[in-house]
């Protein structure tokens, strides 16, 4: 059988890959993709803990469902922001979005 | 144990294999004589102009957005529907409120004029 | 004798016994049985398409007052085999600048996404791939892989028209997924289960009597998912050259064609499962084979209906299609789910007749109110009327000359 | 080594590689398609946890809706980004350093935890109980508040995103 540690190490790796994407990508949509990878890693972690240790309770499942919903809300609003900025300024590169710089 | 996932995995493998095999066999049977003119892009009989990446309307984005919201709602709506028979009237009313809030979102989008194709 | 009652279960048991006498461990026997079963089912589905194409051409031919294929074999039944032979020996023309992986993966995904639905469909009481307890959502999920296939086809072809058509197709597919998901909440709710086996078993009374409007919404939106007439905007020759598959040739195009026909039959299967009671019928529980016959008959009727709709109805315009979805079907199915859930909960559990009558009345009421609302808003904001006179381009100079000559003739006559 | 372990390792390797392609490939459309593969891999790993509902939902929501939304957004904003030059900013080595350090640190922290090598599953063989999940969602002593708040969250996201995404013609004079 698969030990819990495999799932944990895998989701850590996926989280770190996503983190690299968030930190290193220039394109704002690329950054959002990195966030999606991180959220997936978190979800996998939650579901693994639920499945191995706490399957009698429903907390884990509800948490996973809420993470799904939050992720989709985040993507919807985030992409809408990017498109809105793109429409005004014609840029999608996060480094160049400097309107609010003091 | 994982029997149904095993079956679905096997079925997925076969349903990818069948069309792939058919396409490969046809590729072996058919002739292969490419030339420059034959391989050019077909666009109604005129030469292609510019890149393929023409700008799209934002309307596509809006439809996808509304779809995303209604698709995500299935995560909570389907478990609610499955548990329907074991639920008191209170639970059913909870689900109805859930749907009403989403209906409100749809009506807002409608009033905002975001559902018009033009 | 056992064989006649239940051929599939009998053969599976026989094969399992045979393999276990050879000393193969149980896990591998299961694996091999699954492999054989899935292989036979998927191949059967692909072979079925050959006959579907023939049947559809025959029916549409009759509708249009022709014979349809009638030369090759009796009633032209081997016509599709001849076509198959031809398409297998065609050349693949790969245009320059395509994205090789996306371009070649797209037709495979198109077929696979439809074929995978067959894994969970119960054909009779013992004859089903697997009893998967999230099957309804599985069907929707598999459909969404098809959307990715469409995007890959459009984007990989390096062609503006393919790209535009792919995005219109995606807009159509995702839009109609919403009322489809919502109308499927109703059978799931009545059955208290998401597995198709459970949904069929819960239907001594067919769901279509409990949710007629839901059934209609499901039928319309699933026809739109397939993308046949009247929703064939994805491959409208007159608007988008040919659709997202314009740059495909030979059997790669053929695979999109196969996927189209198979999808149309699959939605008929699903409609029969969700709303017409699947294999349920008199005596079906005792004789599984009889259940299979019932199921095929029901599916055939639904498929015949979709073919007739294809033959009879003109194509929607894209804005009309989107309006139909977002401004009619989606709110309607949301309201329907709410009201059905409330009313069905209040009704007494064991009085089936009362339940059916009340639910039918409820559905009719919902439809009448929706129709009244439509007419009301139609009257309040009348759509811009089509101008009755000839438009300038059509009038000058040909039409002017003609109309004046006609009027002259009329005066002379 | 059991067959299921080999399957896990294969799926995990494919997922990590495609996740790596998502964050490093130059063309954004390719990145989105790699994202689809990575999400599919995560769905397969969900399936190996003996659950039924969530792998399907993962495919339905993430691939069917979120990935499609991302692809549409990429297409909408594509004209300026012709995907030339490096798609990583100048501090990418710092980002790589942070990620690798975090990975090593987290694995080290996890390895000290005694529950790491649990192999027994608490989940029943038939998968999660969707009926119990649904009942818990509407149970007043359970998760009614998250259930309703989720719909309000979706409503808020819809309103906000529609407000941002629709063109305001009166302001573009």
How do residues D111-162 score in pLDDT, each as one tens digit? 888 777 777 777 777 777 888 888 888 888 888 888 888 889 999 999 998 8
Buried-exposed string C155-179: b where 16+ CB fall within 10 A, e elsewhere: bbbbbbbbbbbbbbbbbbbbbbbbb
A96 shares contact with chain D (CB less than 8 Å): no
pLDDT digits (tens, 9 = 90+) for C234-289: 766 666 666 788 788 888 888 888 888 999 999 999 999 999 988 888 877 778 88
Residue B81 has pLDDT above 70, yes or no: yes
Of D4, D20, D28, the CB nearest to A17: D20
Q: What is the CATH number of the domain that holds D32?
A: 1.20.120.1200
Which of C204, C212, C224, C205 shows the shortest CA–CA distance to C186? C212
Query: What is the C-alpha separation between C326 and C332, in angstroms, rounded?
Result: 10
Query: What is the C-alpha separation between C287 and D90, in angstroms, rounded?
Result: 71
Q: What is the mean pLDDT of chain D?
A: 84
| Residue D94 domain flag | no
Residue D171 has pLDDT above 50, yes or no: no
- pLDDT given for residue C265 in this prediction: 92
Query: What is the C-alpha separation between A41 and B52, in angstroms, rounded?
Result: 35
State whether B75 and A76 contact (CB < 8 Å).
no
- pLDDT given for residue C413 in this prediction: 47
Residue A25: phi and psi, rounded to 5, are -70, 145
* Chain B residues whose beta carbon lies within 8 Å of the beta carbon of residue D68: 64
State whether C141 and D29 contact (CB < 8 Å).
no
In which residue ranges of chain A is pLDDT below 70? 90-92, 94-102
Higher pLDDT, C203 or C385: C203
Q: What is the mean pLDDT of chain B?
A: 82
Instruction: Please name the residue of chain B whose CA is at the shortest distance from the CA of residue C189.
Output: B81
Range C110-137 average pLDDT:
87
Helical segments of C192-317, H only: 196-201, 207-210, 212-226, 237-240, 250-275, 288-312
Task: Please report which confidence band the pLDDT of residue D44 belongs to, taking 50, 70 and 90 as the band edges.
Answer: very high
Task: Please report which confidence band the pLDDT of residue C335 belongs to, taking 50, 70 and 90 as the band edges.
Answer: very high
- pLDDT given for residue C389 in this prediction: 62
Helix, strand or coil, per DSSP, at residue C128: strand
Query: What is the C-alpha separation between D135 and D144, in angstroms, rounded?
Result: 10
B81 shares contact with chain D (CB less than 8 Å): yes
| Residue D111 domain flag | no
Do D74 and D2 reside in the same domain of the chain? yes
Do D2 and D73 reside in the same domain of the chain? yes
Helix, strand or coil, per DSSP, at residue D90: coil
pTM across the whole model: 0.89
Nearest-Cα distance to chain B for A76, in Å, is: 6
Which of D165, D166, D171 is the best residue to mutate to test the A interface, defined by the most A CB atoms within 10 Å of its own CB? Answer: D165
> How is residue C29 written in tokens?
């026997």
Q: What is the mean pLDDT of chain C?
A: 84
C 136-155 residues with CB below 8 A of B? 136-138, 140
Instruction: Please name the residue of chain A whose CA is at the shortest distance from the CA of residue D125.
Output: A51
CATH of region A4-96, choose from 1.10.1040.10, 1.10.287.3510, 1.20.1050.10, 2.40.40.20: 1.10.287.3510
Higher pLDDT, D53 or C395: D53
State whether B114 and D152 contact (CB < 8 Å).
no
Residue C145 has pLDDT above 50, yes or no: yes
What residue numbers bound the domain in which D1 lies? 1-82
C 354-413 residues with CB below 8 A of B? none
Which of D75, A92, D10, B102 shows the shortest CA–CA distance to C331? B102
Task: Please report which confidence band the pLDDT of residue C409 belongs to, taking 50, 70 and 90 as the band edges.
Answer: low
End-to-end CA distance of chain B: 52
Assign residue A62 a region: left if phi > 0, alpha if psi is -120 to 50, beta otherwise?
Answer: alpha
SS (H, E, C) C15-51: HHHHHHHCCCCHHHHHHHHHHHHHHHHHHHHHHHHHH
- pLDDT given for residue A84 in this prediction: 83
Q: With contact defined as beta carbons under 8 Å apart, do C78 and C286 qualify?
A: no
State whether B82 and D158 contact (CB < 8 Å).
no
Q: Which CA distances in Å does B15 have to C38, C127, C257, C338, C412?
A: 9, 19, 16, 38, 73
Number of C-alpha atoms within 13 angstroms, CB side, residue D103?
20
Touch criterion met for A and B (3+ Cβ pairs within 8 Å): yes
Helical segments of chain B, H only: 3-29, 58-72, 74-82, 89-111
Question: How many domains, in total, are found in chain D?
Answer: 2
Nearest-Cα distance to chain D for C127, in Å, is: 20
Query: What is the C-alpha separation between B11 and C38, in angstroms, rounded?
Result: 5
Within 8 A by CB and 6+ apart from D85, the residues are none
D 68-107 residues with CB below 8 A of A? 69-70, 73-74, 76-77, 80-81, 86-89, 91-92, 94-96, 98-100, 102-103, 106-107
Of A69, A83, A87, the CB nearest to B75: A69
Number of C-alpha atoms within 13 angstroms, CB side, residue C317?
4
Q: With contact defined as beta carbons under 8 Å apart, do C99 and C158 qualify?
A: yes
Query: What is the C-alpha separation between C4 and C368, in angstroms, rounded?
Result: 49
- pLDDT given for residue D34 in this prediction: 92
Own/partner pairs for C297-302, CB < 8 Å, 24+ apart?
A: C298/C272, C299/C265, C299/C268, C299/C269, C299/C271, C299/C272, C300/C268, C302/C219, C302/C268, C302/C271, C302/C272, C302/C276
Range C182-203 average pLDDT:
90
Do D73 and D142 reside in the same domain of the chain? no
Which of A69, A71, A81 is the best residue to mutate to test the B interface, defined by the most B CB atoms within 10 Å of its own CB? Answer: A69
- pLDDT given for residue D85 in this prediction: 63
Number of helices followed by number of strands (H, E) in chain C: 18, 0
């Amino acid at each position: 059988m698969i030990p819990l540690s495999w799932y944990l190490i895998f989701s850590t790796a996926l989280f770190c890959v996503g983190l690299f994407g968030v930190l290193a990508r220039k394109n704002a949509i690329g950054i959002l993709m990195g966030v999606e990878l991180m959220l997936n890693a978190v979800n996998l972690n939650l579901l693994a803990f639920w499945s191995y240790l706490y399957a009698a309770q429903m907390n884990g499942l509800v948490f996973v469902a809420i993470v799904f919903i939050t992720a989709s809300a985040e993507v919807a609003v985030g992409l809408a922001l990017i498109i809105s900025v793109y429409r005004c300024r014609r840029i999608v590169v996060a480094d160049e979005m400097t309107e609010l710089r003091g | 144990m994982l029997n149904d996932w095993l079956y679905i995995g096997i079925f997925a493998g076969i349903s990818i294999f069948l069309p792939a095999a058919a396409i490969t066999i046809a590729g072996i049977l058919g002739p292969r004589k490419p030339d420059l003119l034959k391989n050019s892009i077909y666009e109604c009989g005129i030469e292609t102009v510019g890149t393929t990446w023409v700008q799209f309307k934002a309307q596509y984005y809006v439809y996808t957005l509304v779809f995303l919201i209604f698709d995500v709602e299935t995560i909570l709506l389907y478990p609610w529907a499955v548990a329907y028979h074991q639920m008191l009237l209170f639970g059913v009313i909870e689900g109805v409120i859930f749907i009403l809030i989403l209906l409100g979102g749809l009506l807002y989008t409608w009033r905002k004029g975001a559902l018009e194709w033009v | 004798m056992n064989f006649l009652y239940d051929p599939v279960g009998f053969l599976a048991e026989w094969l399992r016994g045979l393999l276990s006498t050879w000393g193969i461990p149980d896990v591998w026997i299961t694996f091999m049985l699954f492999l054989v079963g899935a292989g036979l089912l998927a191949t059967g589905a692909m072979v079925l398409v050959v006959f579907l194409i023939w049947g559809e051409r025959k029916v549409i031919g009759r509708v249009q007052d022709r014979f349809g294929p009638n030369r090759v074999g009796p009633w032209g039944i081997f016509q599709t085999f001849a076509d198959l032979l031809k398409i297998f020996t065609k050349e693949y023309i790969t245009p320059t600048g395509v994205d090789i992986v996306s371009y070649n993966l797209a037709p495979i995904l198109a077929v696979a996404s439809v074929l995978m639905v067959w894994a969970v469909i119960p054909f009779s009481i013992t004859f089903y791939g697997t009893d998967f307890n999230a099957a309804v959502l599985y069907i929707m999920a598999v459909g969404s892989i098809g959307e990715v296939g469409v995007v890959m086809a459009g984007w990989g072809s390096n062609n503006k028209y393919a790209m535009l058509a792919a995005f219109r197709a995606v807009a159509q597919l995702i839009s109609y997924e919403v009322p489809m998901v919502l109308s499927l909440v109703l059978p799931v709710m009545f059955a208290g289960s998401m597995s198709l086996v459970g949904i069929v078993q819960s239907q001594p009374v067919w769901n279509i009597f409990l949710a007629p409007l839901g059934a209609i919404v499901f039928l319309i939106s699933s026809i739109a998912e397939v993308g046949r007439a009247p929703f064939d905007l994805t491959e409208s020759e007159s608007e988008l050259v040919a659709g997202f598959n314009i740059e495909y040739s030979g059997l790669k195009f053929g695979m999109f064609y196969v996927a189209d026909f198979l999808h149309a039959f699959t939605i008929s299967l699903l409609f029969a499962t969700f709303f017409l009671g699947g294999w349920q019928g008199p005596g079906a529980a005792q004789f599984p084979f009889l259940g299979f016959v019932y199921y095929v008959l029901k599916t055939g009727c639904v498929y015949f209906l979709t073919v007739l709709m294809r033959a009879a109805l003109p194509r929607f315009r894209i804005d009309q299609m989107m309006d139909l979805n977002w401004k009619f079907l989606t709110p309607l199915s949301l309201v329907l789910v709410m009201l059905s859930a409330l009313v069905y909960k209040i009704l007494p559990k064991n009085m089936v007749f009362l339940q059916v009558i009340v639910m039918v009345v409820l559905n009719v009421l919902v439809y009448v109110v929706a129709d009244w609302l439509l007419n009301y808003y139609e009257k309040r904001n009348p759509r811009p009327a089509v101008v009755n006179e000839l438009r300038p381009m059509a009038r000058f100079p040909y039409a002017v000359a003609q109309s004046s000559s006609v009027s002259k003739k009329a005066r002379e006559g | 080594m059991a067959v299921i372990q080999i399957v896990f390792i294969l799926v995990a390797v494919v997922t990590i590689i495609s996740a790596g392609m998502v964050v490093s490939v130059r063309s954004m459309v390719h990145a989105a398609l790699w994202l689809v593969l990575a999400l599919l891999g995560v769905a397969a790993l969900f399936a190996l946890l003996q659950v039924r509902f969530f792998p399907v939902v993962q495919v339905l929501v993430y691939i069917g809706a979120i990935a499609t939304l991302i692809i549409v957004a990429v297409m909408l904003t594509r004209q300026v980004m012709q995907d030339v030059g490096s798609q990583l900013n100048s501090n990418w080595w710092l980002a790589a350093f942070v990620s690798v350090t975090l990975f090593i640190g987290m694995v080290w922290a996890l390895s000290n935890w005694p529950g790491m090598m649990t192999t027994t599953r608490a989940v029943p063989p038939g998968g999660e109980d969707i009926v119990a999940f649904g009942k818990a969602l509407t149970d007043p002593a359970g998760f009614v508040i998250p259930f309703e708040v989720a719909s309000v969250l979706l409503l808020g996201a819809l309103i906000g995103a529609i407000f941002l995404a629709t063109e305001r013609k009166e302001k573009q004079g």
